[in-house]
């Protein structure tokens, strides 16, 4: 009895080490460690490892452009996809039909700013393991006038396909803003008394990421990076508070970050 028990222990240890060797974590399991996909369409393979592995990918999501996201099963039978915006919610999820062998897929578009989104691939159960294939297909919006803007974007903001001008409106398109009314700018600035506080306000575009910079003297100092803010799905006015240690006069600028 004792001998059989010992052999059983050795077998368990051996199986555990084999799992570790043949199934490393091939794609990071969190947005911070995501495998970054390039723009356009991508095809990539992965493996769901033992014990609730999640594989996270990121991709650049153009405004007014739809993406088809498909996870096809290789040796894994059941998969779950969650598509996550840069910050906050909502997320969009879908699963394949367990045991039916069908692919899991979803189709998404958004009307915010150019941004990097995340795709999380996971199994349905703790024992779900095996290979899968992820495809991200970019489906550019219809552009019948060759303006470089999806026609739907032009109709939404201008009501026609003649007015949008690539020389003037490209920035609005990428930054998720209304090209007729709403350039990116600092809309309000207040200085509050001791403790010294500067409150800077601007309107956010959904999913946009902004870098904040400050300077005490534009002639002598260069711009100093302060912070980054990423908008959720609703945009709106953002008030950002800085408590500078050096003052009293201070300049600020914000910059949209293309992801």
Q: By CB under 5 A, name the binding residues for Ca ion.
A: 25-26, 29, 49, 53, 55, 143, 145, 147, 149, 151
Nearest distance, CB of residue 78 and Ca ion, angstroms: 15
User: Encoding tokens for residue 168?
Assistant: 């003037």
Nearer to Ca ion, 138 or 233 (CB): 138
User: Encoding tokens for residue 86?
Assistant: 């840069």
Nearest distance, CB of residue 236 and Ca ion, angstroms: 28
Nearest distance, CB of residue 152 and Ca ion, angstroms: 9
CA distance 242 to 225: 12
- Alpha-carbon 237 to chain mean position: 21
Nearer to Ca ion, 158 or 213 (CB): 158
Q: Which helix (H) or strand (E) holds 15?
A: helix 2-22
Nearer to Ca ion, 55 or 169 (CB): 55
Is the preceding peptide bond at 195 cis, omega within 30 degrees of 0?
yes
Nearer to Ca ion, 49 or 72 (CB): 49
User: Partners of 83 in the beta sheet?
Assistant: 92, 119
Question: Which residues have CB under 8 Å from 215's CB, separation 6+?
Answer: 221, 222, 223, 224, 250, 251
Nearest distance, CB of residue 171 and Ca ion, angstroms: 16
Nearest distance, CB of residue 254 and Ca ion, angstroms: 29
Nearer to Ca ion, 149 or 256 (CB): 149
What one-character-per-residue DSSP string does 81-96 give?
A: EEEE-SSSS--EEEE-
């Amino acid at each position: 009895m004792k001998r059989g028990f010992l052999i059983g222990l050795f077998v368990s240890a051996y199986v555990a080490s084999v799992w570790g060797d043949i199934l490393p974590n091939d794609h990071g399991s969190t947005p911070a460690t995501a495998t970054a996909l390039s723009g356009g369409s991508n095809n990539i393979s992965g493996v769901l490892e033992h014990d609730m592995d999640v594989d996270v990918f990121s991709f650049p999501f153009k405004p007014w452009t739809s993406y088809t996201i498909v996870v096809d099963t290789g040796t894994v039978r059941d998969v779950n996809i969650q598509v996550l915006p840069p910050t906050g919610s909502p997320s969009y999820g879908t699963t394949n039909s367990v045991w039916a062998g069908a692919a899991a897929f979803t189709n998404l578009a958004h009307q915010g700013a150019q941004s990097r989104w995340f795709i999380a691939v996971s199994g349905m159960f703790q024992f779900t393991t095996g290979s899968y294939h992820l495809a991200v297909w970019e489906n550019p919006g219809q552009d019948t006038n060759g303006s470089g803007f999806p026609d739907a974007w032009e109709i939404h903001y201008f009501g026609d396909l003649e007015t949008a001008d690539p020389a003037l409106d490209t920035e609005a398109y990428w930054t998720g803003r209304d090209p007729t009314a709403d350039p990116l700018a600092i809309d309000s600035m207040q200085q509050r008394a001791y403790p010294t506080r500067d409150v800077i306000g601007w309107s956010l575009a959904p999913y946009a990421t902004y870098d904040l910079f400050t300077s005490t003297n534009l002639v002598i100092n260069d711009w100093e990076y302060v912070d980054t803010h990423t908008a959720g799905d609703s945009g709106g006015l953002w008030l950002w508070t800085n408590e500078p240690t050096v003052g009293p006069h201070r300049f600020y600028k914000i910059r949209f970050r293309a992801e």
